[in-house]
Amino acid sequence: MTAIDSPRPLHAGDADDDGWVSAEEVYVPERLIAAPAAGVFHAATPDVVTAEGEVVHIGQVVGSIEVTGGTVDVTSAHAGFLMGLLALPGERVRADQPLAWVRVFA
């Protein structure tokens, strides 16, 4: 639970002994796939990742980063639905830049 600082409790029964009121819990099912290195992003071929809503698995390659001397695979750390790419194929990206987002399975 997260607490918010409130000058007075919203409901007397909701406040704890210190006068804090508990806020509701929020679960965000979206996760980002980040670039493992700086370079030029290339999305995976359509037979691997085709469209928004495609199921991706943990460890699945969703693209690659062209770096000096080779390429680095971009893999998903999450299982869920690929909701979209956040970088265009051929776009220069920096390390840790979000490249795609996934709605994880509940």
**Which amino acid, residue 31?**
R
Give the residues across from 84 on adjacent strands. 101
Global pTM? 0.71
Question: Among candidates 22, 21, 27, which has minimal Cα distance to 7?
Answer: 21
Q: What is the CATH number of the domain that holds 91?
A: 2.40.50.100
Per residue in 76-95, pLDDT (tens digit) is 999 999 999 999 999 999 99
Range of the domain at 42: 28-104
Question: Is 1 part of a structural domain of the chain?
Answer: no
Distance CA 105, CA 36 (A): 23
Tell me the pLDDT of the chain averaged across its residues: 83
- Tens of pLDDT, residue by residue over 13-62, are 555 666 665 566 667 889 999 999 999 999 988 777 756 788 999 999 99
Angstrom CA distances, 85 to 7, 25, 30, 55, 105, stand at 43, 28, 13, 14, 18
pLDDT at 27: 78
- If DSSP codes are grouped into helix, strand and coil, which group holds residue 89? coil
Count the domains in the chain.
Answer: 1
The verdict on residue 6 lying in a domain is no
Cα 40 to the center of its chain, rounded Å: 20
Q: Residue 59: what pLDDT?
A: 95
